[in-house]
Structure 1
Amino acid sequence: MSTTTATLDQVISTLTGYRYAYTDEHALHRGIDAALTVAGIQFVPEVNLSSRDRIDYVAGTVGIEVKVKGSTAALRRQLTRYATHPTIQQLLVVTTLRRHRELPTSISGIPVTVLVVGGGLS
């Protein structure tokens, strides 16, 4: 199987087409790992963007943050910090919480897409 540098559309298509079985965030991570690997998408898990910030995945220039709990305000603060990192050109939030759809579509000029597992895109 060959691997490819991911675009946002490829990552979304891959993650949308996968059926997740999870009970917590770690299990959801395992599903995401499996989906990206089967699709041949190159990714790096747990990337340190700074001494304070570690994003769940980087696939190409797409930063992926996974959430199963937490407030939208706290997530927005987190994404605002991530958006300042020079290698992140797009942010994708994979979440189980529909309220995260309230996030802006752009933070600090970086496009933000929210994928609600089982609930589609916003």
Structure 2
Amino acid sequence: MVVCTDVGDAAREVAEYLSGFSYLWSTERDLQDGIWDILQRSGFAVQRELALTRRDRPDFTVDAGGFKIVVEVKIAGPLNTVLRQLGRYAEHPDVKGIVLASGKRTLLAGVPPLLHGKPIALALTAGRL
């Protein structure tokens, strides 16, 4: 893994790593399981469903270069709902960046590069059952 000097680089590194693999999935849980398998072999320190609060539990929390990056996996849903969820994560002071991972390009379209001043990187997780 590359040493990250800023949080934007850290989020992009995680997103690029995840985008470098093909995943077999038919449900969001399948895709989460595939990403979990990949992250465990990545060299990143990673946790699954670490609670930020009772309401906020991102799919993964990754330590990338000392920056806490959350990874949220989505395969469906309205963009405004996804952005609301990511916005809640971005409001947490410990969260330094966010990766939105999806097997659907249409879900990634329209995601801004920043939410509440925190960088968002996108990971297209190709493949499907």
Using the size of structure 1 for normalisation, the TM-score is: 0.84
Give the superposed CA RMSD: 2.0
CA distance 1:13–1:115, shift in 2 (3 Å): closer
Question: Deviation string for 1:57-103 (max 9, x for gaps)?
Answer: 11011110000111100001111111011111111000122222211
Structure 1: give runs of 5+ residues left out of the alignment. Answer: none
Q: Please tell me whether residue 49 in structure 1 is matched to residue 52 in structure 2.
A: yes
Whole-angstrom distance in 1 between the partners of 2:15 and 2:83: 20
Please tell me whether the aligned partners of residues 11 and 36 of structure 1 are also in contact (alpha carbons under 8 angstroms): no
Dislocated runs of 4+, deviation >3 Å: none
Counterparts of 1:73-84 in structure 2, within 5 Å, are 73-84=80-91
The worse-fitting range, judged by mean Cα deviation, of 82-91 and 110-119 is 110-119
Aligned counterpart, 1:101: 109
Structure 2: give runs of 5+ residues left out of the alignment. Answer: 4-9
Using CA pairs below 8 Å that are at least 6 residues apart, which structure has the higher relative contact order?
A: 2
Q: What is the percent sequence identity of the aligned residues?
A: 29
- Does the residue aligned with 2:58 lie in a helix, a strand or coil? strand
Give the number of equivalent residue pairs: 115
Aligned counterpart, 1:92: 99
The offset of 1:8, in angstroms, is 2.5
Please tell me whether the aligned partners of residues 59 and 72 of structure 2 are also in contact (alpha carbons under 8 angstroms): yes
